[in-house]
Amino acid sequence: MAFSVTILGNSSAKPTPTAHPSAQVVNLNEQYYLVDAGEGVQRQLIRRGINPLRLRAVFISHLHGDHCFGLFPLIATLGLEGKRTPLDIYAPAPMGEILEFHRRYFWEDLPYEVRWHEIRTTEHRLLMENNTLEVWSIPLRHRVPTAGFHFKEKQPGLNVDKFKITKYGLSIAQITAAKRGEDVVMDSGEIIPNAELTYIPYPARSYAYLSDTNYSAKAAELVRGVDLLYHEATYGIKEEMWAKGRGHATTIEAAKVALKAEAQRLIIGHFSSRYKSHDDLVEECRTIFPNTDVAREGSTFTIEERR
Amino acid sequence: MAFSVTILGNSSAKPTPTAHPSAQVVNLNEQYYLVDAGEGVQRQLIRRGINPLRLRAVFISHLHGDHCFGLFPLIATLGLEGKRTPLDIYAPAPMGEILEFHRRYFWEDLPYEVRWHEIRTTEHRLLMENNTLEVWSIPLRHRVPTAGFHFKEKQPGLNVDKFKITKYGLSIAQITAAKRGEDVVMDSGEIIPNAELTYIPYPARSYAYLSDTNYSAKAAELVRGVDLLYHEATYGIKEEMWAKGRGHATTIEAAKVALKAEAQRLIIGHFSSRYKSHDDLVEECRTIFPNTDVAREGSTFTIEERR
């Protein structure tokens, strides 16, 4: 099942000639979730071949303009595109007031419902759930109320071992029962424990988005074991004081979170516009957490099934 | 003296992979004026080598999102860039309320003043004036209150004919008096009429932006003699009914306005996203007004001095 993240923008605060502000798309099984929505996000979606009508939900970490100014034109365009199903938006307050304002001044005839779900940014809570996915809020430490997001694939369904099917001559009904996790009763009365017949095809995967934030050991704990971690690294180690004062993290802090979380892989972004190249930043991270890469605009990071 | 228009975006309603919504920059003598501000305008400015801090004023034709959603992130960025001088914004009501809303939710610590000047869109009025320029509002016919803009260079200062300087042996003081438009009194008592000594170096130039609008003969009258006319041509002639119903103009109507206004040159834009190429649209215009071109994104149109 596909599980990937496409970076639509990774610059902090203001855009540069080559970079858009924060936005990315999580794809789980061809269901798309937008994470933050900096200016230009609708064009970025189209450029990356993602039809904005396919978005299932939008998650906004906090209400700084560089994380949400692209949401309002996107909502307008979805109306022009004929969207009829509701759009769920998960964001901290006062997003409700902000959406109401836009409805009054810009979207009077929007043909679909925009549903805001409030994120309480001090709480670790289940925000959204469906057959394949849970999305949890992760409290972060920024200048305004901010939440990270933990996308957790649900445990994939049990597979039944082909050799056991042959060995026991299982019927379709018995295979179906085993897939549901039940023990199987043979005609002889013998009970075959489910664990002998089935296996989990691969461990459930997860992705975490932690931006914008100071270093947070608590956030690292909450996403422990994450497969892919996006952590902001607005500043390099030399600018540690800037990072502290502004509610941001350095490269080293991002790497420490990845290490503490026992992440498989780290990608960094939300770079200050002062950095023309991000090579040094990623090298700083690698001194602590070797499996680090830059979350380059346009890149897609796939979370493989581990078998 | 430089007088040019750079197109930052020319798509209507929603952006496409290759085009941004309405925005352009007028440059008169290296003073820059933004006309409309669709999403992404700040990146478009930077990409075209124009420092947003150099903008003297912003003119917004109407309050549809595709003409103003880029203004709010631009204002935020100017704050981050350390702007201290006021930014003048000319726009119809309720822009004041919209700016106030953004101030409350997004710009609490903006280090400069944003000054809104209301455009009464039913009136032909002088909006702004300085040493070199007047900007007038042009009433347009759209679904919401909308104004076009007429950028009129002021009459350039008089030049004194070099041959006359030699012929009469004019002193610096006499030349200065002639430049001010005065007659010159010679030592002999002879009076040389100003008209004999001076000439206007070139006729004052002008640019008009008419978008979004149905065909308007009145608008054409108000910009009569314009050097460069940007007129929306959202639709081709086959989509005339769409244009009428939605407050837009066709190619043919844009060309008729240019003809009626006795414009020197027409550029068309604000194209519906249904057109993959604009070649046919410009050809439709040329059947009526041959000197027509597409206002292509990234293009700069220079208004030459006519000598």
Is residue B229 assigned to a domain?
A: yes
Are B71 and B218 within one domain? yes
Angle of CA points B305, B30, B229, to nearest 5°: 50
Which of residues B174, B199, B224 is at a domain's end? B199
Is residue B307 assigned to a domain?
A: no
Q: pLDDT tens digits, residue range A71-94?
A: 999 999 999 999 999 999 999 999
Are A152 and A289 within one domain? yes
For A103, which residue in chain B has the nearest alpha carbon?
B65
| pLDDT on residue B211 | 97
Residue with tokens 């409350």: B104
> Which of B15, B47, B77 minimises the CB distance to A43?
B15
Pairing of strands A133-139, A126-129: antiparallel
Are A170 and A230 within one domain? no
| pLDDT on residue A13 | 80
| pLDDT on residue B108 | 83
State the smallest CA–CA distance between residue A72 and chain B in angstroms. 8
| pLDDT on residue A17 | 78
Quote the ipTM score. Answer: 0.90
Angle of CA points A270, A274, A278, to nearest 5°: 60
Are A257 and A273 within one domain? yes
Are A80 and A151 within one domain? yes
| pLDDT on residue B13 | 80
CB contact at 8 A, B156 and B169: no
A-chain residues near B47 (CB < 8 A): 17
CA distance A299 to B270: 31
Q: Supply the mean pLDDT for chain A.
A: 96
Number of domains comprising chain A: 2
Interchain contact, B43 vs A13, CB within 8 Å: no
| pLDDT on residue A284 | 98
Interchain contact, B15 vs A72, CB within 8 Å: no
Is residue B249 assigned to a domain?
A: yes
| pLDDT on residue B16 | 80
CA distance B92 to B79: 23
| pLDDT on residue A18 | 78
Give the list of residues 6+ apart from residue B83 with CB closer than 8 angstroms, or none.
B53, B111, B112
Q: pLDDT tens digits, residue range B74-85?
A: 999 999 999 999
State the smallest CA–CA distance between residue A20 and chain B in angstroms. 8
CA distance B138 to A31: 47
CB contact at 8 A, B294 and B268: yes
Are B163 and B56 within one domain? no
Is residue B288 assigned to a domain?
A: yes
Best interface-test mutation with A: which of B16, B20, B36, B43 has the largest number of A CBs within 10 A?
Answer: B43
Residues of A designated catalytic: 66
CA distance B243 to B237: 9
Q: pLDDT tens digits, residue range A195-233?
A: 999 999 999 999 999 999 999 999 999 999 999 999 999
DSSP conformational letter for B203: P
Is residue B89 assigned to a domain?
A: yes
How many CB atoms are closer than 10 A to CB A260? 17
Residue with tokens 């970079």: A19
A-chain residues near B234 (CB < 8 A): none
Positions in chain B short of pLDDT 70: none
Q: B87 in helix, strand or coil? A: strand
For chain A, which residues lie within 8 Å of any Cβ of chain B, measuring from their own Cβ? 13-17, 20, 39-40, 42-43, 46-47, 63-66, 69-70, 72-73, 76-77, 80-81, 94, 97-98, 101, 105-106
Are B241 and B142 within one domain? yes
For chain B, which residues lie within 8 Å of any Cβ of chain A, measuring from their own Cβ? 13-17, 20, 39-40, 42-43, 46-47, 63-66, 69-70, 72-73, 76-77, 80-81, 94, 97-98, 101, 105-106
Q: Which residues span the domain enclosing B185? A: 159-199
Best interface-test mutation with A: which of B69, B71, B99 has the largest number of A CBs within 10 A?
Answer: B69
What predicted TM-score, i.e. pTM, was given to this entire model? 0.92
| pLDDT tens-digit profile, chain A (307 residues) | 899 999 999 999 877 877 899 999 999 999 999 999 999 999 999 999 999 999 999 999 999 999 999 999 999 999 999 999 999 999 999 999 999 999 999 998 899 999 999 999 999 999 999 999 999 999 999 999 999 999 999 998 999 999 999 999 999 999 999 999 999 999 899 999 999 999 999 999 999 999 999 999 999 999 999 999 999 999 999 999 999 999 999 999 999 999 999 999 999 999 999 999 999 999 999 999 999 999 999 999 999 998 8
Are A86 and A221 within one domain? yes
Which of residues B149, B175, B199 is at a domain's end? B199
Is residue A81 assigned to a domain?
A: yes
Are A134 and A249 within one domain? yes
How many CB atoms are closer than 10 A to CB A217? 11
CA distance A128 to A55: 14
Interchain contact, B13 vs A69, CB within 8 Å: no
Q: B150 in helix, strand or coil? A: strand
Q: pLDDT tens digits, residue range A92-118?
A: 999 999 999 999 999 988 999 999 999
Which of residues B180, B199, B218 is at a domain's end? B199
A-chain residues near B77 (CB < 8 A): 13-15
Interface size A-B, in CB pairs within 8 Å, comes to 80
CATH code of residue B90: 3.60.15.10
Is residue A204 assigned to a domain?
A: yes
**Residue A9 CA, distance from chain mean position:** 14
CA distance B188 to A229: 91
Are B79 and B195 within one domain? no
| pLDDT on residue A307 | 80
Are B37 and B174 within one domain? no
Is residue A307 assigned to a domain?
A: no
Are A85 and A216 within one domain? yes
Alpha carbon separation from B197 to A284, B177, B188, B189 (Å, rounded): 72, 11, 17, 16
Start-end of H helices in chain A: 41-47, 65-68, 71-80, 95-105, 162-168, 172-179, 194-197, 217-222, 240-246, 251-260, 279-286
